């Protein structure tokens, strides 16, 4: 029973990382109608930047604080210089560009850092077991789940309780209408893309002490993040949250009882959802 409970908690933690990635994908797709295949590369880049900041300053917290800001800036630069010129062209062009960008970023990281990967230690302040009465659980993993939950809550409040969020939600619903109403839609594209990339960077930093950092880590998680978006419902905020947690827990439990099948669980769930509820768990028709 202790093993089952621990696996459920582990599934929630891995699901929380997936949720952050999926919410970034959802924002970019919903507002800009771009499928961002480079999302996993920025997840990996955030993890590496966090690792080098940890190496330079001797503290994990520097990476957690600075990576979102650095990737926010990098995301805005990428959108303004690479993606913006493609808006009036075929929707396939941005997809191909971000697909190619993934390989460029991955190869650059391999050239600079090597292919072998690096181990990242959890912060010493969280290097202990948290007593839960009937079992114990690593404090760092608990921290990841709690912080991811706070980020999700903060993002929801931003979208639901601010004028910026109102414009983003309106742009997701009908981008043509908000342009007619005089909103500078082009400027908000850069902001939304940058925000989605920053979420990927935070997820990478939080995940680095769990799996370590290596150049292919973004490719390994990206497809699962897309599955989370599809299962939850394209453009659905809470659908992505629910889907990420469900998939994380299901994969974790399958790893315990039948590990050989764990890697296919997300795809089986996606097939079932697309067959019986094509709009996703919480998506709209």
How far is the C-alpha of 246 from the C-alpha of 51, rounded, in Å?
Answer: 29
Q: What is the pLDDT of residue 62?
A: 95
DSSP 138: E
Q: What is the pLDDT of residue 163?
A: 87
Indicate the range of 101-110, 124-133, 219-228 predicted with least confidence.
124-133
Based on the number of CB atoms within 10 Å of its own CB, is 228 exposed (0-12), middle (13-18) or buried (19 or more)? buried
* pLDDT of residue 130 exceeding 90: no
User: What are the pLDDT digits (tens) for 49-88?
Assistant: 999 999 999 999 999 999 999 999 999 999 999 998 888 7
* pLDDT of residue 221 exceeding 70: yes
Q: What is the pLDDT of residue 5?
A: 85
Q: Judge contact between 269 and 250, C-beta under 8 A.
A: yes
Based on the number of CB atoms within 10 Å of its own CB, is 116 exposed (0-12), middle (13-18) or buried (19 or more)? exposed
Indicate the range of 199-203, 256-260, 269-273 predicted with least confidence.
256-260
* pLDDT of residue 272 exceeding 80: yes
Q: What is the pLDDT of residue 285?
A: 65
- Quick check: pTM over 0.85? yes
Task: Please state the rounded mean pLDDT for residues 246-264.
Answer: 93
How far is the C-alpha of 172 from the C-alpha of 73, rounded, in Å?
Answer: 22
Name all domains of the chain by residue range, CATH numbers in brackets.
Answer: 2-276 (1.10.3470)
What is the Cα Rg of the chain in Å?
A: 19
* Residue 137 CB partners (closer than 8 Å, separation 6+): 6, 9, 129, 130
| Nearest Cα residue to 51 out of 199, 200, 205, 201 | 205
Q: Judge contact between 55 and 183, C-beta under 8 A.
A: no
User: What are the pLDDT digits (tens) for 194-220?
Assistant: 999 999 999 999 999 999 999 999 988
DSSP assignment of 20-41:
HHHHHHHHHHHHH----TTHHH
How far is the C-alpha of 107 from the C-alpha of 115, rounded, in Å?
Answer: 9
User: What are the pLDDT digits (tens) for 150-172?
Assistant: 999 999 999 999 888 888 888 87
Distance of CA 204 to the CA centre of its chain: 8
DSSP 37: T
Q: What is the pLDDT of residue 244?
A: 95
How far is the C-alpha of 105 from the C-alpha of 209, rounded, in Å?
Answer: 21
* Residue 207 CB partners (closer than 8 Å, separation 6+): 17, 43, 47, 144, 217, 221
What's the mean pLDDT when you consider all of the chain? Answer: 90
- Reported confidence tier of residue 32, pLDDT bands at 50, 70, 90: confident
How far is the C-alpha of 166 from the C-alpha of 54, rounded, in Å?
Answer: 37
Q: What is the pLDDT of residue 101?
A: 94
* pLDDT of residue 176 exceeding 80: no
């Amino acid at each position: 029973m202790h093993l089952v409970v621990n696996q459920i908690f582990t599934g929630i933690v891995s699901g929380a990382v997936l949720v952050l990635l999926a919410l970034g994908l959802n924002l970019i797709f919903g507002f800009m109608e771009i499928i961002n295949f480079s999302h996993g590369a920025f997840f990996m880049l955030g993890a590496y930047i966090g690792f080098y900041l940890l190496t330079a300053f001797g503290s994990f917290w520097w990476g957690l604080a600075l990576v979102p800001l650095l990737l926010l800036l990098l995301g805005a630069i990428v959108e303004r210089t690479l993606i913006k010129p493609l808006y009036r062209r075929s929707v396939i062009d941005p997809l191909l560009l971000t697909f190619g960008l993934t390989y460029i970023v991955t190869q650059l990281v391999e050239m600079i850092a090597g292919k072998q990967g690096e181990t990242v230690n959890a912060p010493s302040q969280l290097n202990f077991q948290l007593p839960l009465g009937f079992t114990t659980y690593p404090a760092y993993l608990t921290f990841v789940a709690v912080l991811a939950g706070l980020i999700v809550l903060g993002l929801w409040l931003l979208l639901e309780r601010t004028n910026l969020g109102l414009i983003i939600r309106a742009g997701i619903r009908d981008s043509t209408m908000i342009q007619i109403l005089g909103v500078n839609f082009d400027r908000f594209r850069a902001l939304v893309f940058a925000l989605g990339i920053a979420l990927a960077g935070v997820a990478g930093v939080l995940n680095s002490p769990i799996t370590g950092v290596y150049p292919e880590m973004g490719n390994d998680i990206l497809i699962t993040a897309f599955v989370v978006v599809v299962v939850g419902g394209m453009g659905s905020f809470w659908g992505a949250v629910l889907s990420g947690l469900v998939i994380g827990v299901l994969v974790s439990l399958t790893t315990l009882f039948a590990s050989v099948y764990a890697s296919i669980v997300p795809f089986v769930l996606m097939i079932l959802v697309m067959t019986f509820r094509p709009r996703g768990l919480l998506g709209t028709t």
